[in-house]
Homo-oligomer: A and B are copies of this chain.
Amino acid sequence: MAPYSKLSKEKLKNLKSDLEKQFEEIKKKGLHLDMSRGKPSKAQLDIGIGMMDVLTSESDLVSSDGVDCRNYGVLDGISDARKLLADLSEVPERSVIIYGNSSLNVMFDTMSRAMTHGFMGSTPWGRLDHVKFLCPVPGYDRHFAITEFFGIEMINVPLLETGPDMDMVEELVAKDPLIKGIWCVPKYSNPTGISYSDETVRRFARLKPAAKDFRIFWDNAYSIHHLYDDKRVVVLELLNECIKVGNPDIVIKFISTSKVSFPGSGIAALAASRGNLEDARRYMKYQTIGHDKLNQLRHVRYFKDMLGVYEHMRKHAAILRPKFEKVDEVLTKELGGLGIGTWTKPLGGYFISFDSMEGCAKAIVAKAKEAGLVMTDAGATYPYGKDPKDCNIRIAPSFPTVEELEIASKIFVLSVKLVSIEKLLNA
């Protein structure tokens, strides 16, 4: 079909009336569909159900390093769990501390720690009048929410196909000592699905910020969340790159098994240089007597090693792949060539990123809602919820079934079409 922009107003109006009828038909069904959350489906949870059986009252609850996992203690986590999450983080065991059930919590804690105690002896950020953070956009709303919650000013940096615009990052951090950090999702980024190039990682490792306590918050949320076994993306490991160029303290890596084992009951980890880990331990020593080691043991006994984790992730991929493909199929069939939207075809992660015509995203999300489809709020992928062009929409295909996604995608494309026509008619 011809691009909408080439159609006469007359044709657009006819098309609109046609589409409105279709939309009304769907509305009548009173559907409740949700493509808003990067939440694993029940089928994905069932993959790991065997984890419920690995520890029983008959099990040896002592870890291989001799710790009774039921009792207090062991701030860093049991050795086997450190080893597993170190492998997952592509760093040595000594570079990892295990935390509780969520890496979001570790990121929040790390930000909170910077506010009250700084990093490695720096002035606590909360004692400064003004602190800024770089936010590659579009990005993850919860990163932005944490940053805003602590009163830190956010600066948008465009996320390119190769990662954040490094020319801009380098220039900004070199000249402004108030810029204290940057959020990164280096692989299968939320929401665009892009992965950072080797060159981007190397430039991050060589970054020379004016602020000595500048930190790269490296959220490795989707490091092993490939959709295609034969198209696995490899991102250069940053900590090692930083060490190689004598810049070991600039990065803090975060990882968890939330979307590997169970989202509510995984284990999380922080990986960083020795200096950063000592800094983190100094804090943890007051914060806790140790995280849940039985759950660490449960993970280790269940997965055994990275091969076990990879095998497990293939099962997740088998469930997720048809969902991503279904959404893409509907979008391609219904929007292909119309010039009213583009979208990503990620090789991993949890999201498809959709860009509408300028000024249409909010209206599209509102329209979809009329027909019972909940999307992530338009704007959520930008700091302060403000997408300057009002065009980005995050699509999360993981939770609904393929059948539900087919209907949801149809509602979505109808909404895109109707709002786009409206926009063109009013142009």
> Which residues of A are at the interface with B, using a C-beta cutoff of 8 A?
37, 39-40, 42, 45, 48-50, 52-53, 55-57, 59, 61, 68-74, 100-102, 104-105, 108-109, 112, 115-117, 124, 126-127, 142, 145-146, 149-150, 258, 262-265, 283, 286-295
Contacts and interface: CB of A to CB of B under 8 A. Distances in A.
B70 A265 contact: yes
A331 B69 CA distance: 34
B108 A287 contact: yes
Given A264-B291, A265-B294, 11 more contacts: A42-B68, A52-B55, A56-B56, A71-B263, A100-B292, A101-B291, A102-B288, A102-B289, A112-B116, A149-B283, A264-B294
A105 B6 CA distance: 61
Nearest to A294: B265
18 contacts: A39-B72, A45-B70, A52-B55, A52-B61, A53-B56, A70-B263, A72-B263, A73-B264, A100-B100, A101-B291, A102-B288, A104-B287, A105-B288, A108-B288, A115-B115, A116-B116, A116-B126, A146-B286
A81 B358 CA distance: 47
A291 B42 CA distance: 19
A289 B263 CA distance: 9
Contacts of A37: 72
Contacts of A287: 104-105, 108-109
A149 B112 CA distance: 14
A181 to B, nearest CB: 16
Contacts of A262: 70-71, 294
Contacts of A117: 149
Contacts of A71: 39-40, 45, 262-264
Nearest to A67: B264
A292 B263 contact: no
Contact of A124 (B126, B264, B283): B126
Contacts of A59: 52
Nearest to A69: B264
A71 B61 CA distance: 25
Contacts of A265: 69-70, 292-295
A100 B266 CA distance: 12
Closest 5 CB pairs of A and B: A70-B262, A265-B294, A72-B263, A49-B57, A108-B287
A108 B102 CA distance: 18
A271 B398 CA distance: 35
A24 B366 CA distance: 83
Contacts of A150: 116
A293 B127 CA distance: 36
B52 A56 contact: yes
Nearest to A288: B105
A301 to B, nearest CB: 12
Contact of A100 (B101, B142, B258): B101
A116 B113 CA distance: 10
A60 B146 CA distance: 34
Contact of A295 (B68, B108, B295): B295
A67 to B, nearest CB: 9
Contacts of A283: 149
A153 B291 CA distance: 29
Contacts of A294: 262, 264-265
Contacts of A124: 126
B56 A68 contact: no
A270 to B, nearest CB: 15
Contacts of A105: 287-288
B57 A289 contact: no
A199 to B, nearest CB: 33
A73 B295 CA distance: 18
A289 to B, nearest CB: 6
Contact of A104 (B258, B264, B288): B288
